[in-house]
Amino acid sequence: MQSGKSLTGKDSILGPLIKQLTEAALQAELEQHLAHDPQPNRKNGKTSKTIKYPSGNFELDAPRDRNGTFEPQLIKKN
């Protein structure tokens, strides 16, 4: 008999881990973008995105910049 959460599927243990790792990577991309942006620019909150992966879906909080010039490479806009 198994106890605890499964690795894959709905409510898996991997879902929150993937979400946390992806959000941290996107935040690092934005920091890098802002450091090299020649125009005055800064963070401007987050936007929610639904991400589909083989084990299910999760809501991702993707960071934004004020000028709207940040184009994430890990997960593209739209």
In a domain, 45, yes or no: yes
In a domain, 15, yes or no: no
In a domain, 17, yes or no: no
In a domain, 14, yes or no: no
| 26 neighbors 74 (Cβ within 8 angstroms) | yes
Structural domain total, the chain: 1
Residue 1's pLDDT is what?
45
- Could you list the pLDDT tens digit for every one of the 78 residues in the chain? 456 777 666 667 777 888 899 999 999 999 999 999 888 999 999 999 998 877 677 889 999 999 999 999 998 877
In a domain, 1, yes or no: no
| 17 neighbors 25 (Cβ within 8 angstroms) | no
